[in-house]
Chain A
Amino acid sequence: MWVCTGCSCLCDDIEIEGDVIRHACRIGAGLYLNRSVARTEPLIDGKQTDIDSAIERAVEILKDSKRVAIYGLNNSTLEAQKIAMKLAEKISAYVDNGSKFGKLAEMILRKEIPSTTLENVKDYAYVIFYWGCDIHNSMPRHMSRYTYYPRGKKRQRGYEEDRFLVVVDVRKSHTAMLAKKNAIFIKSDDDRKIIREFLTALEGGIASGDVLRVVKEIKKSDFNVIFGGGGLIEGLGNELEEFVRFVSNVGYFIPTDYRTNSMGFFKSLFEAGIPKANLEDLLIDEAVDTAIIVGSDPLDSMPFDVAKKLAKLKLIVIDPKVSFTSKIADVVIPSAISGVECGGRMLRSDFTEVELKPIFKSEFDDAKILKSILGGL
């Protein structure tokens, strides 16, 4: 059995037989089957070199830098993240993984908001919210593996009777299209308003028909769960207090950050006592002159105005795959695909620790590369 690192579901039931990979979704199967396509080579200023020279050059750049940002690490193991934190401490670097889930993740770690495991969801959850996330596209097996569709200990009668699905989104996503029998889709233009409406209804007040219907279902069970994605985080902004009250009234909250080891990143950061930085803000303020990008492609995810500023920095890219950012980097250091070519541990989206089961071996991986850089400083 292989553990897929295609997203933060970290599905651990994958069978591989030669060139056939079973049960992994298109994202996970592609990650494995296309592993040798578009691989990076060691580069300095776009010219081929060997990996040791590339690492040496990275060290030189770091020595000459005033302020560094370390960015990415979502595809790195907990072990590699730990070394990255040490590196950050040593050179007083900012650290960011580009995810906006930091605040809620920290609240879960501090136990300020009730959370649970996906296994418990499968066994006990009745009302299942997907709020501001199109899970079918971002974590394709989430619903079939852990939440709405599978049968669990106390949920033996299947999704049509034993679960109630609520999808809240600004648009009718593929996930929203699954809200059929015993389910509801609520179109939201203002998440905070709907949360307030829910709070009112939960306390017996007046609310819209849809909200009242869901509240009636919520009251049928003491185990309900809210999965929240990027859309929800955006909708909430900095106002988390009402949301926490809402979760406490309903049941549990589990983030749906698809980035594979994003929760691991937040935990590593939390344990190291480093505050999470926001690279986009740092770029706008022109507060950094160098960035180490680990397994991430900010040019493929940051708005143009900000990314253009990033392109002006000294860039050290550590990545197994060619990316837009690697194309413009000063130094490129090839790495291993975590879970495929190197092992270690990661945290699933619900903070459950999972041990990876690599199929291949690799001489270099994020942990080793970061260690050499740290050693060179």
Chain B
Amino acid sequence: MLRFAKFLKKVELKLITYRDGFQVSVAMKDKFGEEFVEKSAIVIINPNTAKTFGFKDGQIVKVSSNERCANLRLKVSEIAPEDCALIPKSIYSCYLSSDKITIEPTDGEITTPNELLERYT
């Protein structure tokens, strides 16, 4: 089973955005600081989904929706239902806003708020 896992490593999930109190508190502090990225540039999936598709907590993933994509850190938690991915409400979730997103592994770095901002202007 495990050997096939790497071929499965791309998953489409329903996107739910949610308000995370820890994210809110760092966003109130400074949106251009490291803590903001740490708390905002994340995508949470259910432990079972992670197992099925071979994702590990903490790895960086490429998240795509429509024609847009950003690199976020993957987290595993049961606050996400099995068929959904959770992204805390912020410029990241707004940038990727869509009903569905695709998640796949990447070697890239996490996208910074300034990189995102450039795509708006």
Interface residues of A (CB under 8 A from B): 6, 25-27, 30-31, 34, 37-38, 134, 136-138, 140, 170-174, 258, 297, 299-305, 307-308, 311, 321-324, 327-328
B:66-121 near A, CB below 8 Å: 68, 78-81, 84, 86, 89-91, 94-97, 113, 117, 120-121
Interface size class of B (residues with CB under 8 A): 20 to 34
Indicate if the CB atoms of B97 and A37 lie closer than 8 Å.
no
Given A30-B25, A171-B86; A304-B18 close (CB under 8 Å): no
Chain B proximity of A337: nearest CB distance (Å): 10
Closest to A136 in B: B21
Task: Please judge, given known A-B contacts A30-B28, A174-B79, whether A308 and B21 are in contact too, CB under 8 Å.
Answer: no
Q: Bound state CA distance, A26 and B20, in angstroms?
A: 12
CB-CB under 8 A from B20, the residues of chain A are 137
Q: Are A324 and B28 in contact (CB under 8 A)?
A: no
A171 touches B81 (CB 8 A): yes
- Chain B contacts for A37, CB-based, 8 A: 29-30
Add 10 more A-B contacts to A38-B33, A173-B18, A324-B113 (CB < 8 A): A6-B28, A26-B21, A27-B24, A37-B29, A170-B16, A171-B84, A174-B79, A324-B31, A324-B117, A328-B117
Given contacts A136-B21, A308-B120, contact A303 B30 (CB under 8 A): no
Contacts of A299 in B (CB 8 A): 91, 94, 117, 120
Set A38, A171, A322, A327: member contacting B80, Cβ < 8 A: A171
Chain B residue numbers with a CB within 8 Å of A324 are: 31, 91, 113, 117
Chain B, residue nearest A298 (CB)? B94
Kindly state whether residue B27 has any CB partner on chain A within 8 Å.
yes
